[in-house]
Amino acid sequence: MSHSLTFGETPSSDDKLWGVAAHLVCMVFPVVGIFGSLAIYLIHRDKPFIAYHAAQSLGLQAGIWIAGVIVSVISGVTCGLGAILYLPLAMAYFIPLYGAYIAYEGQWKGYPLIEKLGR
């Protein structure tokens, strides 16, 4: 049934579980979690709900990595004063909890800035 699932339809409990896993893998493995989400996406790309949530997770993690590089450059240019920007970036570690909750609820809703990614 999940192979015929289209955007907006109710996912199975297995689909929800994989959607949750796609979001939480980056919390369990913070440095390499992006590869876990990518693996989930590639393995389950024929299941729209899982692929959608894995794409959301990938987009969020890529954004956090890019922000980390920018903060590192700012910190280097300002001789360490820009390191204060790591505090809000560290708070981004908890954002996947929101995505996991949404996937657990079976909703086709993503992170506000990247919601259209994966549709």
Domain membership of residue 116 (yes or no) is: no
How confident is the model over 74-118, as pLDDT tens digits? Answer: 999 999 898 999 999 899 889 999 999 999 999 999 888 787 655
Domain membership of residue 113 (yes or no) is: no
Helix, strand or coil, per DSSP, at residue 116 = coil
Note the pLDDT of residue 2.
40
- Contact between 49 and 5 (Cβ < 8 Å): yes
Domain membership of residue 30 (yes or no) is: yes
Domain membership of residue 115 (yes or no) is: no
Both tokens of 41, joined, read: 């996406």
Task: Find all residues with CB under 8 Å of 35, minimum gap 6, and list them.
Answer: none
Domain that holds residue 6: 2-107
pTM: 0.84
Total of domains in the chain: 1
Stretch 57-69: mean pLDDT: 92
How confident is the model over 28-62, as pLDDT tens digits? Answer: 887 788 899 999 999 999 999 999 999 999 999 99
Note the pLDDT of residue 76.
94
